[in-house]
Chain A
């Protein structure tokens, strides 16, 4: 029987399937961090249970960590306690921890792929909704709650109902100044913040196939922002080339065996999806969000949709979002002054993101009214940026290169955007207060963020690219 990629991987991991019950799904790799794990470890203690497969569990500290002076004790008491608790729990239960100071430390969804832990065909979970990032390799990867973290600790399995499948095809070539972040913001704007709920999404089409692994991760990362459990992309030569030689990737005979299996991981030509959507890459412009959920996005030259044009029962929530942002409906954002630019998060903090920004800001300087933070996704990304001299470019431009962590994406550490201030952010959520109480977030690509940093206002990056070439 023909199967979708999701079905192939799912079926290969079902321990037991029984009518009227969710499947018992085997989990190959469990990633954990300091925020959503302590209560799960406590649960194990209460039940008197060990971590069933500690070698399939990997921990890092990312959500709470400072992004300056990481080797000093964490100043904020509760953050320090939570990070210390992770260290203690990992030691007690025999889990490998890449904590602060470790050369592998970083955002959990950045280190998995760069260490070769994330592989095609795997099932992976983490107590974090952006676990969908790992789907870029052709893995089933999704976020779970803390009770489920405890389940996986205790059994290396999860009770899960098989999700519906959706295929999103993006065909054609992207325009100048348009990247992976714009593709995903465009799709979410088209289908809404709830449009993918209940589905696992497979991204396909020539525009997706042309993307690098890091760009594919940006796409899969934001699957949850349309409500989808996860998103994935069939592995291909780009995937295999990325994985080969990484720290924990299979090598030698193991590599050959793995590669042969990975090459079977695609949706059969006549496989049935529950839903199929198709988009044209040429229709996508640099995107920006104007509201308080990631579905409220538009091409940067467009006007904010009129409140009057919204469905009757949604008008109130829509207007509430615009009021929070301090924007008028039916207005353009071009030229709107910004206060902060944040380049980081599990969506856009990889070396290619940093290279793209550095390439753009070389010989430019940030506007005086803007504070710019660049937070690399991992120690390895930070080191690589320095090896390539990107830190010098950032320094000359007045961009601050900090140390790795989730940082201002969710403001659990000190990196908060002040009340009322506008931040163009490469992260994934523009929810009220996400980056700090009453902070106002505009989601965009690294290039659009860099353009705002240089001009001090919302700018169509294509205008600046034209100038360079002209």
Chain B
């Protein structure tokens, strides 16, 4: 993959290969990016620090007290993998949603369906979106229901996700180019910059 592509500048994008972790389950469908990070927190001009406001209005009362019934405030659940209902990340294109999830310590998000722009934003930041079948998603939720410490193994090289306890496994799709970017920590700009002459040539034909 990407053989012979001269990388001009390598920016510090997070690499991803494999992880085994307990999960944080959020069994709600159509979680939009306004829930992930409400618009009033989009005024920052850097990429850092959005994690503390991840799921802000589900996670905290107006007086900033944690809401006891929200999963991220329940010490039983922890881990680097967020598992959510279908159509995760719909709505606004705000990349702050991916930044917030990553900043809160997650390295992968699993759902049975992702909104396009969110998926692209996640991949561009080294946050792995893993689309599984409805059935497998239900199995994960069930495993975590039975045992909150139930772990998942995510293997990007082999494109598999495994429920460690039961051994149930499913493979997932990822664009081969994007996979290579994640494993090597490359980003799209490195790739396109290497084609700048081609771009200038293209402009001449317009």
> Is the beta-carbon distance between A36 and B177 smaller than 8 angstroms?
no
> Is the beta-carbon distance between A193 and B192 smaller than 8 angstroms?
no
Shortest Cβ gap from B204 to chain A (Å):
12
> Is the beta-carbon distance between B43 and A411 smaller than 8 angstroms?
no
Cβ 8 A contact of A293, one of B32, B40, B46, B193 = B32
Chain A contacts of B29 at CB under 8 A?
A: 313-314, 317
Instruction: Mark the stretch among B71-79, B85-93, B101-109, B155-163 that contacts chain A.
Output: B85-93
Given contacts A22-B175, A129-B117, contact A317 B85 (CB under 8 A): yes
B169 CB–A CB distance under 8 Å:
no
Cβ 8 A contact of A147, one of B32, B46, B62, B125 = B125
Distance in angstroms between the alpha carbons of A146 and B96 in the assembled complex: 8
Distance in angstroms between the alpha carbons of A423 and B187 in the assembled complex: 42
> Is the beta-carbon distance between A147 and B124 smaller than 8 angstroms?
yes
> Is the beta-carbon distance between A159 and B192 smaller than 8 angstroms?
yes
Shortest Cβ gap from B52 to chain A (Å):
15
Cβ 8 A contact of B198, one of A15, A63, A159, A412 = A15
Cβ 8 A contact of B116, one of A128, A147, A159, A197 = A197
Given contacts A15-B199, A81-B45, A82-B45, contact A147 B93 (CB under 8 A): no
Chain B contacts of A30 at CB under 8 A?
A: none
B168 CB–A CB distance under 8 Å:
no
> Is the beta-carbon distance between A229 and B116 smaller than 8 angstroms?
yes
Shortest Cβ gap from B68 to chain A (Å):
17
Given contacts A79-B43, A81-B43, contact A434 B115 (CB under 8 A): no
Q: Which of B136-191 contact A (CB under 8 A)?
A: 138, 175-177, 187-189, 191
> Is the beta-carbon distance between A155 and B196 smaller than 8 angstroms?
yes
Chain B contacts of A429 at CB under 8 A?
A: 32, 34, 91-92
> Is the beta-carbon distance between A154 and B46 smaller than 8 angstroms?
no
Chain A contacts of B120 at CB under 8 A?
A: 144-145, 148
Cβ 8 A contact of A437, one of B32, B57, B115, B198 = B57
Distance in angstroms between the alpha carbons of A419 and B63 in the assembled complex: 14
Q: Which of A73-95 contact B (CB under 8 A)?
A: 78-79, 81-82, 85
> Is the beta-carbon distance between B93 and A412 smaller than 8 angstroms?
no
> Is the beta-carbon distance between B43 and A412 smaller than 8 angstroms?
yes
Cβ 8 A contact of B199, one of A20, A157, A316, A419 = A157
Interface flags for A158-200 (1: CB within 8 Å of B; 0: not) read: 1101000000000000000000000000000000011001100
Distance in angstroms between the alpha carbons of A227 and B117 in the assembled complex: 9
> Is the beta-carbon distance between B45 and A85 smaller than 8 angstroms?
yes
Distance in angstroms between the alpha carbons of A151 and B30 in the assembled complex: 28
Chain A positions near chain B (C-beta within 8 angstroms): 15-16, 20-22, 24, 26, 35-36, 38-39, 42-43, 46-47, 52, 63-64, 78-79, 81-82, 85, 127-129, 143-148, 150-151, 154-159, 161, 193-194, 197-198, 224, 227, 229, 293, 295, 313-314, 316-317, 320, 410-412, 419, 429, 431-434, 437-438
Chain B positions near chain A (C-beta within 8 angstroms): 1, 9, 11, 27-30, 32, 34-35, 38-40, 42-47, 57, 62, 85-87, 90-96, 98, 113, 115-117, 120-121, 124-125, 134, 138, 175-177, 187-189, 191-193, 195-196, 198-199, 202-203, 206
6 closest A-B pairs by beta carbon, nearest first, are A145-B95, A145-B121, A78-B43, A38-B45, A147-B124, A143-B93
| Interface CB pairs A-B, < 8 A, 19 | A24-B192, A24-B195, A35-B94, A39-B47, A47-B189, A145-B98, A147-B187, A155-B192, A158-B188, A194-B86, A194-B90, A194-B113, A229-B116, A316-B27, A320-B28, A412-B39, A412-B42, A429-B34, A437-B62
